[in-house]
Amino acid sequence: MHSNSAAPPAPGAFVMNRSRRSWIGTSWKMNKTRAEAAAYVAELCDWMRDSELDVSAVIFPPFTALPIASAQLASCRAPGDAPERTRGSLQLGAQNMHWQPRGAQTGEISAEMLLDCDVSVVEIGHYERRENCGETDRSVSMKAASAVAAGLEPVICIGDSPDDRRYGVAAETVSRQAKIALHGLEPEALGSVVLAYEPGWAIGAGGTQAEAADVEAMHRVIRDAVRASHGQEAAEQIRVVCGGSVDAANAPGYARETSIDGLFVGRAALTAAGFIEVIEQYCAALPAADSELVGAEGDTDDRH
């Protein structure tokens, strides 16, 4: 538990902060053989090598494809490939981990095993795992703490369900999820943590795309929760990205919102070309850094 010693911001004050680097990830979920994974990574590397975009891109293959994805990434970074020409970075993520370091946990994967596959990012608490695999706020919290302790960057998924939305408790749900997930972490650690706001009603085939303005409002609720638990600085450093039926067409709308730091993409990025298109559309719509403002809540008309 952390006490919030930082002075709270003035009532209604907010800071437009574009200092956080854009983060765009894609989970392949239960898709792709090793050969398909290698081809995807090769295509993505080719594009990144020539791209000027300043973005953190992260792919989350299934466990079985992590070694080959890692090998493909390493070959992209071979001497002579001039990685310094690339402003962006491409990281390897895993879709889950156990909080214990080893032992009798059939079917589970530890942080050490992920590090052994050159994984640097781990997804925790996806809505599907909360709904279908018994993931709880407490297990998410334990996984986040173990990930950080092991040197992995956690991407912690939070999101309201259709019922939360229907009964008007979505903000309470995501605030609770965020506070519990981050409970064991020091404020200084939050610069390496990503919160992915993915409402259950927006995810997957049949999901309803969330309006950018509604996502922005929820991201501010999330940042308020982090401010309450970990202080102002941590709330400004943590990256909050959004997911659920994100594609190249709706990515620009999210890019224009100041509390949205990036995207977590599913179906639209199942091909490398699809992922690249989402990244390009998002980055093209980002407002110039010098147009940022410090203002008061409600004073939003000239933000973009």
Nearer to ligand PEP, 144 or 246 (CB): 246
Handedness of CA 172, 173, 179, 183 (dihedral sign): positive
47 binds ligand PEP (CB under 6 A): no
Q: For the chain, what is the total number of helices (H) and then of strands (E)?
A: 11, 10
Choice among 98, 123, 126, 257 that is catalytic:
126
Phi and psi at residue 8, in whole multiples of 5°?
Answer: -70, 150
265 binds ligand PEP (CB under 6 A): yes
Count of Cβ atoms closer than 10 Å to residue 150 Cβ: 17
Q: How many residues bind ligand PEP (CB under 6 A)?
A: 14
- Single residue of 65, 69, 203, 248 touching ligand PEP by CB under 6 A: 203
- Single residue of 266, 278, 281, 283 touching ligand PEP by CB under 6 A: 266
Q: Is 31 helix (H, G, I), strand (E, B) or coil?
A: coil
264 binds ligand PEP (CB under 6 A): yes
Nearer to ligand PEP, 152 or 155 (CB): 155
Q: Which stretch binds ligand PEP (CB under 6 A): 47-55, 97-105, 203-211, 218-226?
A: 203-211
Distance CA 111, CA 190 (A): 18
Q: ∠ CA 14-15-20 to the nearest 5 degrees?
A: 135
Buried b (16+ CB within 10 A) or exposed e, 12-28: eebbeeeebebbbbbbb
Q: Is 198 a catalytic residue?
A: yes
Q: Can you tell me which residue has the tokens 């993931």? A: 135
Nearer to ligand PEP, 61 or 266 (CB): 266
What DSSP element (H or E) covers 240?
A: strand 239-243
Contact, 88 vs 53, CB < 8 A?
yes
User: Which residues are registered as beta bridge partners of 55?
Assistant: 22
**Segment 14 to 33, residues that bind ligand PEP, using CB under 6 A:** 27
195 binds ligand PEP (CB under 6 A): no
- Smallest distance, Å, CB 211 to ligand PEP? 15
- Smallest distance, Å, CB 194 to ligand PEP? 13
> Per-residue contact track with ligand PEP, 162 to 191, x per CB under 6 A?
------------------------------
Name the nearest CA neighbour of 152 among 182, 126, 122. 122
242 binds ligand PEP (CB under 6 A): no
Active-site residue list: 126, 198
Residues binding ligand PEP (CB under 6 A): 27, 198, 203-204, 207, 243-246, 264-268
